[in-house]
Structure 1
């Protein structure tokens, strides 16, 4: 067994790896995806989204299979996921196909997590580990939003796909905030532990 005797993947500081290049390509396609969506070219936007999803699968597979996991990749991958979600809801809202409160609900949750991250950093903590519920919520949004787009690209199936798409999207948004509540609880717990570990100040003045 080479590289890692414990069987756990090594995470390196390398930048120029095949998975990272694939992640960069996903990021470069975000504005292309958004432009197609805003212009009403739903079929083209779906094609870009499929290409991005395939590259997402490939970069994860290659990173694990060939031990090319990196810290940069761990940042790029979730960043690309969020940007595609933001691009999808903003593009659809721009065309009045989804209400803007959905945009505020989803974007607001990530702004909320950003604030929690700043608070944790002030106490010397890094970002909280991704909760399984957050992964499920992201998956639901990644499934629901493209289904909405699919109904737009193929109107013949919209009567069937749209109710399902909206149910999944709204459920994903609910889970998104549920996960946010869990992150808030974990942040409060971390702050309490940090404060408890601080030395108590003396009530008397030092001579």
Structure 2
């Protein structure tokens, strides 16, 4: 167990595996292939419900982990993996159904490529990763709530008309914050590398 002092409250990261947040993250991971099957087979009710539950459990696992000191190494790994898999599965399903434009997928995937290259570079310098930034979590929150609304937006009734502007509002905010988070991660990475001791070679 590691304890990090924040000046106000001790921040505890444990090695425990069986915690409520970890169970929620595993359930979200299990839901990814079910969601993909549902959206590709046009079972929109089930797909919408799974997306909604994904957003709710994403909020709950972080809230519970922080509130009850259940943050763990496994949770730090599972949570972002579950987020990215849901985002990628949703983008694939929605673009396959022609419910969202290809440019939206390209913009989000480009950010993922940038982050992957950045993390790969950090590993070559001995840094295993960067702490999750609240802007990144806010971006994920917006995208996970945009997708079920964009799924509803293709309906030709009042529900579709209501979901369309709200869904695109979440989507635009999500994309902007997603890229803003990438910039902040890059700044943080530069600071971390600047503080790292230089290796002296002969």
Category of TM-score, reference length = shorter chain: 0.7 to 0.9
Question: Does the Cα contact within 8 Å between 2:52 and 2:148 map onto a contact in 1?
Answer: no
Using the alignment, how far apart are the partners of 1:16 and 1:4 within structure 2? 22
2:123 to 121, 127, 144: 121
Partner SS state of residue 42, structure 2: coil
Tell me the number of residue pairs that the alignment of Structure 1 and Structure 2 aligns: 198
Alignment TM-score, normalising by the size of structure 1: 0.80
- Work out whether 1:85 is the aligned partner of 2:87: yes
- What is the CA deviation profile of residues 35-89 of structure 1, one whole-angstrom value per residue up to 9, with x for unaligned ones? 1112222111111223333433443344345433211011111211221111111
Of 3-12 and 123-132, deviating more is: 3-12
Question: Does the Cα contact within 8 Å between 1:42 and 1:153 map onto a contact in 2?
Answer: no
Partner SS state of residue 114, structure 2: helix
Alignment TM-score, normalising by the size of structure 2: 0.82
RMSD: 2.8
2:108 to 106, 109, 116: 106
- What runs of 5+ residues in structure 1 fail to find an aligned partner? 202-207
Counterpart residue number, 1:176? 178
- Work out whether 1:197 is the aligned partner of 2:190: no
- What is the CA deviation profile of residues 81-140 of structure 1, one whole-angstrom value per residue up to 9, with x for unaligned ones? 221111111110001111222112112211211111111111112312223332222222
Using the alignment, how far apart are the partners of 1:193 and 1:136 within structure 2? 28
2:77 to 55, 75, 78: 75
Using the alignment, how far apart are the partners of 2:63 and 2:179 within structure 1? 29
- What runs of 5+ residues in structure 2 fail to find an aligned partner? none
- What is the CA deviation profile of residues 150-193 of structure 1, one whole-angstrom value per residue up to 9, with x for unaligned ones? 33468422223212322331232122122222323333444455
Partner SS state of residue 152, structure 2: helix
Specify whether residues 130 and 44 from structure 1 end up closer, same or farther in structure 2 by C-alpha distance, changes over 3 A only. same
Of 149-158 and 64-73, deviating more is: 149-158
Using the alignment, how far apart are the partners of 1:154 and 1:27 within structure 2? 32
Partner SS state of residue 10, structure 1: strand
1:17 to 16, 19, 34: 19
Using the alignment, how far apart are the partners of 2:70 and 2:51 within structure 1? 24
- Work out whether 1:145 is the aligned partner of 2:147: yes
Using the alignment, how far apart are the partners of 2:101 and 2:112 within structure 1? 18
How far residue 27 of structure 1 moved from its aligned partner, in angstroms, is 0.3
The structure number with the bigger radius of gyration is 1
Using the alignment, how far apart are the partners of 2:194 and 2:99 within structure 1? 44
